[in-house]
Structure 1
């Protein structure tokens, strides 16, 4: 657990399943599970041999591979460094970061799938010691000096270098090339980030079997997909820069569903390191009667933060530890001890923020803490004893789910799922149940059919893959096509959401409401949106696939959209009321005109021609009123117009029938 310049030190964990040499890799932003498909396909030789193999296969036989036989580290830091002679990856890159900061790249997963102008990217590039520029198509590029030449690399290319490093490590261990991969990503990753992650894997020569979410993988690791009773499990995921909480439910069939998700994407272990850093700088200044400003000394800041992160890690299993830094500042050494009790006292505000965020999440999700049947922990920061104590007290439970290392739990679950996917390729091997993986739609998807109201087809938080459909009718006589604009968001008015694309379908001319079309939205396991429409009479179809760049939101954008939806909830409700009243008025006008056509030309119509003309003038005025008051915010005004028109029309029509 370390920290560099306010950003995360991400880890990659490798795991193998002995019986079929299924390999798993995990990283802080995109954990990887790889499998050798050829080995599994060759397991079946005869019925008796198959039974023998299946009996031997136990999915919990996992071995975590050391990232280096020399260093004996179980985790590999997600650093890539460029020097005048070579490119270093993993721990070798991390170990030289202090001497080569401008050419040592880390935390690149926070760039993947984002544009250069993304607010999150702009925040990050001001903190990083390496340079990031705006590249082709507005995508960020990392600029480094490599072999004495300036080079530019995309986030996908940097990520692929890390994957190649792990792929080679796997090859050296199992003796053959690994090609198939399952990738786990943060729950809030949008479609573009997921697609970009797949590109990185492809560049590394890996075939992506599936992308799943971190909390889902953790749930699988604990066998929640094997449950035969309804269960609510809270997944508590605290990493260096983000804090994510999810509720995953299971039913009697073992289906996993993400019921709710939340947290704080700008709060994490870094905040705890910040608190400790401030305290120790004050202590150093007090001891040496100085006014050291650590913000102006990046090297001292880096070394202190690394020492603090190491101390926090030590205090997980020890009651006291020491921080020692030679030549910390102005050639002065810094050495101090800290007890676990002192650490917990200094970190009170951090722990309080964790619990307050958790309370807010449960309140928004309308879930009581007594409804939670278990708590799964993800991330080394969740191993802090005080935090675990607070969680036990908050949920009034004796124990948390922590039999699997919180650092390794996601990789563990990814391995199980990878094994399941590969075994499903064999007709004869069905030893694992099929899993329903609950990646979710982060924001509602729907259309503006004709009246400006956002018609939701796939609601927010729907588990994916998902397919939903709606029926839409023509809105005027002899309509020859129905246009659809696709939006994503949570506002009632379509135009207040993000426009994604448009399509239409030809329909047979007919009276209003007689022709209809079925619109189907389908989101696949990787989050790609497919929209198609079919007209019932002619059978004509049309289809579009929403471009990834139009279909992406950063986690910060999602939070803002949800906040705006809550902020404008009353306004949106009023808008819906207005549109309903307006639609009633439009429908009434249509029915009056249709009634007049039915009556036709008779002696009575000729006798009451003046009254009819007056009624038609009033109808035209009502239509003009509707067209001229698209932004009307007063329901009573619409009702007043309708009541006046209805009174006149009823009087005239009564004289004609």
Structure 2
């Protein structure tokens, strides 16, 4: 398949600019479904209010527990032995994902593969095993938040805006929407957590032209986004990055490992997972206290094998144990600055979001990175994401008096197709503003080719095999024609919620195909792919050069065959012998370096008669432009 030019340019449009006709009757709430804690915000009487529980707690643990008679959610499930947590890390993921396999070793509950191979949780109820999808469990958390809001407002809540991490993929976003439906909620919008935090402050920043950096360090992830407040009031996301395995839980694990090791040295006993989980609950409490006090005492009675655990943890010890992790939180900051083409001095405002952003040492490190800049935290970092979601939610209700904040978000990874030689040809680049659409025109790779296969990939590596295959489809019934003549338009579209659709159409026959993406990489895989693209840049360049050299040699072989058809018998034999020699050499040297392949091509060219000009091979550089053959 050969690319012959560009079709439509990306369509860049502001998100969330609904008119009154698109608003719903009744209340719309903002929901922050967090890894460790969740909360719900409502816009009431001109202000955002975070809805408290009956006990007055504004944050609700993202925890569920099951016993034979009832299901416990939130605070009620927090301290039960059978509690299930971290469900957000399983949403939209395959069971065999490396991240799932690593995490399940530390969880006290059982993670299994469901009938479709997706990660699920097995519970035991009334002596029978039951498999629940992450969406099932997340829906219980959303249902509890919905009930809170309904009680607070005095009427049933049926609509919501829900936030997700910036690099949540298609499958995860779909899982969130499914969880909302199971909870009796229509999810009107899915917006990224850092973007929601920017919206919370955006009203006072609108039209200023300021550059905002949102640093969102939660329980499970570290997300960073850079936005610009446009003159027309739009908030434009310039770049997003993050670390999917860096957050408060990782800080807790460092402390748990330290205390467990100390316990083992004193008692000679090696605690099991159940004991470590009880310790982790206490460590999480201690971590929060250390944000305001210099030291805490951690006590767990009957910690393991009848032996108590009691240790003092100072803030200095906590910071030392987690120093490396704290410094790692700056890596996404550097990444978004680089992707946005900005220097740190260009950032006007640094906004804190996420509970772990309240850690004093984290704030100190971040402020020092920005040369002592004061960090913006007038809105509680625990609540700022729900706060921003509530503002957007109010603008979608006929009852709200808040104007909608137009947003332009971005794609987390490049999207493209595999072309000849195994190249990754990007149709939509990483950090392309959303919604986005781009059409590229391709053609056939062989003469009289009647079918074309379109393989869709996501990632930053130069060779398609190193990226994630999202799916493939075929176009059949292409009218026979010389290579390069058929015109096949391949269109990529990503909607306002970051969901992808791909369509390809042959213009002469009208034959078409489309891809319904059912699964995309997990949040962790997105970050791993970006990191791999940097780590393997040199290797990828070598693969690229080797593939280009092979394709150039194959073009020469094709030209030799064409020349043989037109030449005198003696020259024809020479051309065919050279072509056969080249084919045998390629088969015997599949891993030859680019330089060796180029030398072989030059050797062949020097040993054959001059070929007719119309059959001379195109230069590798010209033919490789776009890496366009499938």
* TM-score class, shorter: 0.7 to 0.9
Residue 177 (structure 2) pairs with residue 193 (structure 1): no
Write out aligned runs for 1:60-459 (5 A). 61-68=47-54, 71-95=55-79, 97=80, 101-102=81-82, 104-146=83-125, 150-223=129-202, 227-253=206-232, 254-263=234-243, 265-277=244-256, 290-291=266-267, 293=269, 295-296=271-272, 298-299=274-275, 301-302=276-277, 304-318=279-293, 342-359=314-331, 361-362=333-334, 366=338, 368-422=343-397, 431-438=403-410, 440-442=411-413, 444-459=414-429
Distance 1:309 1:571 in 2: 42
User: Which of 621, 641, 654 is 2:601 aligned to?
Assistant: 641
TM-score, normalised via structure 1 length: 0.77
Q: Is the 8 A contact 1:447 1:494 kept in 2?
A: yes
Question: Structure with the greater relative contact order (CA < 8 A, sep ≥ 6): 1 or 2?
Answer: 2
1:220-276 CA distances to partner (integer Å, 9 max, x unpaired)? 11107954355443322222343333334444442422414133x333323433454
Residue 596 (structure 1) shift:
8.6
Distance 2:331 2:465 in 1: 33
Q: Is the 8 A contact 1:179 1:206 kept in 2?
A: yes
Q: Is the 8 A contact 1:32 1:183 kept in 2?
A: no
What residue is the counterpart of 2:495 in the other structure?
Answer: 524
Residue 32 (structure 2) pairs with residue 26 (structure 1): yes
Q: Is the 8 A contact 1:491 1:572 kept in 2?
A: yes
What residue is the counterpart of 1:43 in the other structure?
Answer: none
**Deviates most, 145-154 or 447-456:** 145-154
Q: Is the 8 A contact 2:394 2:402 kept in 1?
A: no
Q: 1:119 to 1:261 in 2, by over 3 A?
A: same
Distance 1:210 1:163 in 2: 15
Residue 544 (structure 1) shift:
1.7
Q: 1:133 to 1:591 in 2, by over 3 A?
A: closer
Distance 2:97 2:298 in 1: 38
Distance 1:118 1:318 in 2: 40
1:428-461 CA distances to partner (integer Å, 9 max, x unpaired)? x9933432233x233x322223343221212233
Secondary structure at the aligned position of 1:410 is classed as helix
User: Which of 543, 566, 571 is 1:611 aligned to?
Assistant: 571
How many residues were matched structurally? 584
Residue 377 (structure 1) shift:
1.3
Structure with the higher fraction of residues in helix conformation: 1
Q: Is the 8 A contact 1:35 1:179 kept in 2?
A: no
Distance 2:453 2:284 in 1: 57
Q: Is the 8 A contact 1:192 1:552 kept in 2?
A: yes
Q: Is the 8 A contact 2:210 2:229 kept in 1?
A: yes
Residue 647 (structure 1) shift:
6.8
Distance 1:468 1:225 in 2: 34
User: Which of 423, 431, 435 is 1:461 aligned to?
Assistant: 431
Q: Is the 8 A contact 1:482 1:506 kept in 2?
A: no
Distance 1:219 1:162 in 2: 25
Distance 1:526 1:364 in 2: 21
Secondary structure at the aligned position of 1:137 is classed as coil
Secondary structure at the aligned position of 2:408 is classed as coil
Q: 1:609 to 1:237 in 2, by over 3 A?
A: same
Distance 2:96 2:261 in 1: 37
Residue 409 (structure 1) shift:
0.5
Q: Is the 8 A contact 1:612 1:652 kept in 2?
A: no
1:336-359 CA distances to partner (integer Å, 9 max, x unpaired)? 777xxx413542342453124415
Residue 518 (structure 1) shift:
1.5
Distance 2:160 2:41 in 1: 4
For the aligned residues, what is the CA RMSD? Answer: 3.9
What residue is the counterpart of 2:521 in the other structure?
Answer: 553
TM-score, normalised via structure 2 length: 0.80
Q: Is the 8 A contact 1:113 1:193 kept in 2?
A: yes
Residue 330 (structure 1) shift:
8.3
1:315-340 CA distances to partner (integer Å, 9 max, x unpaired)? 434456665666767888777777xx
1:99-129 CA distances to partner (integer Å, 9 max, x unpaired)? xx13x22222222222333332233333223
Distance 1:377 1:462 in 2: 25
Task: Tell me which structure has the larger Cα radius of gyration.
Answer: 1
Distance 1:207 1:368 in 2: 41
Residue 501 (structure 2) pairs with residue 515 (structure 1): no
Instruction: Extract unaligned runs of 5+ from structure 1.
Output: 1-18, 37-55
Q: Is the 8 A contact 2:213 2:227 kept in 1?
A: yes
Residue 163 (structure 1) shift:
1.8
Instruction: Extract unaligned runs of 5+ from structure 2.
Output: 1-24, 615-630
Residue 307 (structure 1) shift:
3.8
1:182-223 CA distances to partner (integer Å, 9 max, x unpaired)? 221122322222212221111111112122211111111110
Distance 1:579 1:624 in 2: 17
Q: Is the 8 A contact 2:564 2:571 kept in 1?
A: no
Q: Is the 8 A contact 1:35 1:181 kept in 2?
A: no
